[in-house]
């Protein structure tokens, strides 16, 4: 029973920390435009990638 006197305040403090981190993330716009990052992965084309450029054709 005495352990509850320690565990309950610790649990309340941890919940407050988690809520604080969540509110900070929302305030700093960490959750804005979630779909754009997923689309960037799918449609990303590197300009410096030599394999994406067409090679000049050899003499015919």
- Give dist(CA 35, CA 39) in Å, integer: 6
- Predicted local distance difference test score (pLDDT) of residue 10: 98
Please state whether the predicted TM-score (pTM) of the whole model is above 0.85.
no
- Predicted local distance difference test score (pLDDT) of residue 38: 73
Taking only the tens place, the pLDDT of each residue in 5-60 is 999 999 999 999 999 999 999 899 887 777 777 777 777 666 665 565 566 666 65
39 near 33, Cβ under 8 Å?
no
15 near 23, Cβ under 8 Å?
no
- Give dist(CA 13, CA 31) in Å, integer: 24
Tokens of 33: 């435009």
- Give dist(CA 37, CA 39) in Å, integer: 5
């Amino acid at each position: 029973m005495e352990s509850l006197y320690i565990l309950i305040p610790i649990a309340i403090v941890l919940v407050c920390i988690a809520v604080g981190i969540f509110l900070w993330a929302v305030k700093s716009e960490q959750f804005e435009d979630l779909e754009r990052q997923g689309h960037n992965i799918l449609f990303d084309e590197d300009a410096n990638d030599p394999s994406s450029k067409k090679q000049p054709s050899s003499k015919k």
